[in-house]
Structure 1
Amino acid sequence: MTATTGTDDGRGGRDGADDRAELARLLPPATGFALPPGRHEHHRERLMHQIDHDTAAASASAKDRARESAQDRRPDRAPARPRLLRPSFLAPVTALALAGALVAGYSAQGGGEGPARAESGASAAERAGNAQPVALVLGRISDAAAKSGEGPVGDDQFVYVRSQVQGGDLTSGKLVTGPPAEREIWYAQKPGPQKRLGYIREGGETLPINAELGDTDGTREGISRPTYRWLAALPTDPRRLLDHLTALTPESERQEHAQAVFEQIGYLIRETVLPPETAAALYRAAALIPGVTEAPDAVDALGRHGVGIAREDRGSATRSEWVFDPEGLAFLGSRTFLTADTAIGAKGALFDAQAVLKRSVVDEGGVRPQG
C-alpha cells in the first residue's frame, strides 16, 4: 500500500494537493483531551529488546497481510524496517507503526468506515472564519524561534530536558495509556558512533540510553540521534530542508509518508536544543507539508492551552498536534491520539503526549542543571 495522497512525500503539489491541504485546514480539529496527557513507554530498554516479539503477538494476522502486500510491491519501493530510535524519537514511531498495522487489519475486516473526524463545538465554517492560514501561523512561530535558543552546545556536553510525559502501551494488542509521569533526559553530543547516547530518569531510576539495536559499533549522529552539530548542518532553506528530511525519514506501508515527516519534525523539536536558524527553518518546512493545519486552543500534557499545529493521518486513524505558548510562541508540548474507534482502542485514546518543563545544556550526564 502506498501513500494515500498525491503529495504524501511532502515534495510539492500534484493531483490537487493544494485543494486537499486547504480542505484539511477548514475541517474542525480534535476536541481537547480531558485527561492530562503525557508519558512515553515505561521500562524502555526491556520493551525495545522485546518489540519484535510483542508486535508479532499483538498482530500476527496484520503482519501476514503486510507480507502479502510486500510481495506485490515494486522492489524499489520496499520500505526500510523501522529503526529502533531512542526514547523521545522511537516511542511514538513504534506505537504508530503497530497501530497502523492493527488499524489496517481492522479496516480490511470491515470493522469500520475509515477514520472519523474529531468532534468540535464549532462548525467548520466558524472554525475557518477564526483560523489563520497555517503558513502564516508557522511563519510567526519560525520568527520567534529564530530569536531564541539555549545553544550552542559543545561536543562534550549534554542536552538536558525535563518533561511531563504520558504514553500508550501496545504490547497486549490494545492501546493502554499509562499514568502521567515526570521524565528527565540527557543526550550526549559527541560526534561519531557512540554506544552510550545519554541517560534517562523516570520513576526515580536513572538508566543509560544505549546505542540502537543492531548498531554494534555505536549509533552515529543523524535523524535518530540529532546532536546540535548535526542539526546546525541541516539546510536552512525550508524547501531543501523538507526534501532532505523526507529522504531521511523511513517509509511505512501503514502511514502516509507526509505524516511520518511531520512527526519526525515534531520529534526534532521536542527533546533537543535547536540552533535558532534550524528551528526557524523546521517550522517553515512544516508549513510546506500537505495536510498540516492550525489547531486552535490545543492542549499539552499539563493541560496548558496554546496555539496548535496538527496533521491527521487517515490511513492509521491518528492525529498529531504540536502546542505553542500563545504569548511568546515557544514550544510547549505535543500529543498523538486516535481519531476513530479501531481494533486497538477507542477514538480519542492517547498514544503519547509531552509537556516541556525545562531545557538546558549541562557538562555531565545524569546531573541536573543548577537552578
Structure 2
Amino acid sequence: MNDNATGASPERRDDREEIARLLPAPADWDLPCEQHLRHKDLLMHHIDHDRVVRTRPARPLLRPAVLAPLTALALACAVTAGIALTGGDPAPADTASRRAATDVQPAAALLYRISDATETRADLTVRDDQFAYTREKRRGADLTGGKAVLGPLVDREVWAAQEQGPLRKLGMIRENGATFPVNAELGDAEGTPAGINRPTYRWLSSLPTEPDELLTYLYAKTPQADGRERDQAVFEQIGSLLGGVMPPRTGAALYRAAAKIPGVTPAPQARDAIGRKGLGIARDDTRYGIRTEWVFDKEDFAFLGSRSYLTKDTSYGKAGTLLSSAAELEHAIVDEAGRQPTDAQRTQTERQS
C-alpha cells in the first residue's frame, strides 16, 4: 500500500521509527525483545495514519539488532552539543561541524586516559555456567501517545547467561521487585548464540584488541539501517557493550576505537540517571536530532552510565527533552540467575568498575 493510501508521512515515519529504535526496550520481559519491536513497529504505523502525506518515497523500516545486549539494554542517545538540560536552540550544522573538528582531539585524549585506566583493572575468570550481574537505575520516555512522556526512575537487576549457546533462555531481569525471564525470539528453535547482540565475557575476550582492527570489525558487524549514519551506529554499538562486566583489554580497545570515530566530542555537562556528574563523551546524530552521551567517573574513569536527549524541536518535544538515562551501580559474576553477589564477588567487581 502506498503512502497516499495510508495517509502516512514517510519522513515522519522514519523519524518516529528511528527515535523508537534508540529508546530502551520495554520492561515486560516475558516477551522477547524482537516481539516488542514488532509491536512497536505496528504502533508507529498506526500513529502515522493521521500524519500529512509527503511525496518523498518511503524508505525501508529502520530496525535495531534482534536482541539488545543484556548488560546494556539501552543505548545511550541524546542532547545537542552545547544545549543545556532545559533546552535551547540547536547549533547550525556548519557550526556543529566546526566544533566537531576542533573537539575531536580533546575527546580522543580523554578516551585514551579512560582506556589506560581500564587496561590496569583485574581480569576475571568466568565460567560458561555463570551469569553476569548488573544492578542499575534507569528511566525512559514513552512515545506511544505522540509526545515524549518521561517515566519514573526504576531499579533494575539483570542476570545474563554466559554460556556460548545458542540459548533459548538468555537470563533474567528484576525490575522494581517483579521478575521476568529473558528468552530468545519465539519460533527461533536454535536460540541466540554469544555475539554482538548477546556479548558474553568469553566472546568479548575474543575481540581484537588493536583499535583499528577492532573498529574495522565493528563497522562490519554493526547492523545496517537505510538512512542511518554509519559512524553514529558504530558509536552506539560500542555504547551498548559498555556498562557490564568487561575484560580489561577489550574495554581499553573499545575506548581507543571510539576515539577514532569522526564527530566524537567531550560533553562537560554529562550526568547519569541519578545526577552523578562526570567526564562526558558524546556524538550527535544530526539526521534525527539526538545526542548520545557516555558518563565516566572523574577519579577512576569508571563508566557511570548514559543519557539521551532530543537536540531539536520535534513532534515528541522540544530540544533538551530527555529520552532515556541509566546509572550503573554494581557489576559481578554470580553462579545463579536471581542470586545477588556475595561480598567476595563485590570485591572482584570493584576492581572492574
> Does the alignment reach a TM-score above 0.5?
yes
AA aligned opposite 2:164: P
AA aligned opposite 1:42: A
Q: Distance in 2 between matches of 1:365 and 1:45?
A: 15
Deviation at 1:248, TM superposition (A): 1.0
Comparing 150-159 and 358-367, the one that deviates more: 150-159
Q: Distance in 2 between matches of 1:370 and 1:343?
A: 47
Partner of 2:337: 365
Q: How does 1:72-87 map to 2 (within 5 A)?
A: 81-86=63-68
Comparing 83-92 and 188-197, the one that deviates more: 83-92
CA contact (8 A) 1:118 1:339 kept: no
Q: Distance in 2 between matches of 1:156 and 1:294?
A: 39
After TM superposition, the score normalised by the length of structure 1 is 0.73
Q: How does 1:6-85 map to 2 (within 5 A)?
A: 41-45=26-30, 47-48=36-37, 50-60=39-49, 68-70=57-59, 81-85=63-67
Partner of 1:159: 132
CA contact (8 A) 2:103 2:266 kept: no
Question: Is the counterpart of residue 318 in structure 1 residue 270 in structure 2?
Answer: no
Deviation at 1:250, TM superposition (A): 1.3
Q: Deviations over 1:267-301 (max 9, x none)?
A: 1012x211111000000000010100111141111
Tell me the SS of whatever aligns to 2:189.
coil
Q: Distance in 1 between matches of 2:259 and 2:154?
A: 32
Q: Deviations over 1:287-332 (max 9, x none)?
A: 0101001111411111111100000100010001000000111110
2:178 maps to which of 193, 198, 205:
205
Tell me the SS of whatever aligns to 1:298.
coil
AA aligned opposite 2:39: Q
2:307 maps to which of 323, 331, 335:
335
2:321 maps to which of 345, 349, 363:
349
CA contact (8 A) 2:168 2:184 kept: yes
Tell me the SS of whatever aligns to 1:311.
strand
After TM superposition, the score normalised by the length of structure 2 is 0.76
Q: How does 1:226-305 map to 2 (within 5 A)?
A: 226-270=199-243, 272-305=244-277
Q: Distance in 1 between matches of 2:50 and 2:185?
A: 27
Q: What fraction of aligned residue pairs are identical, expressed as a percent?
A: 47
Question: Is the counterpart of residue 174 in structure 1 residue 163 in structure 2?
Answer: no
CA contact (8 A) 1:167 1:177 kept: yes
Deviation at 1:128, TM superposition (A): 11
Question: Is the counterpart of residue 194 in structure 1 residue 167 in structure 2?
Answer: yes
Alignment CA distance shift 1:118-1:299 (3 Å):
farther
Q: Deviations over 1:186-245 (max 9, x none)?
A: 000001210111000002111111114553320111111001111111111111111111
Deviation at 1:133, TM superposition (A): 1.3
Number of equivalenced pairs: 304
AA aligned opposite 1:218: G
Alignment RMSD (CA, Å): 3.5
Which is bigger in relative contact order (C-alpha 8 A, separation at least 6)? 1
Tell me the SS of whatever aligns to 2:217.
helix
CA contact (8 A) 1:41 1:168 kept: no
Deviation at 1:52, TM superposition (A): 2.8
Q: Which runs of 5+ in 2 are unaligned?
A: 1-22, 79-87, 344-353
AA aligned opposite 1:216: A
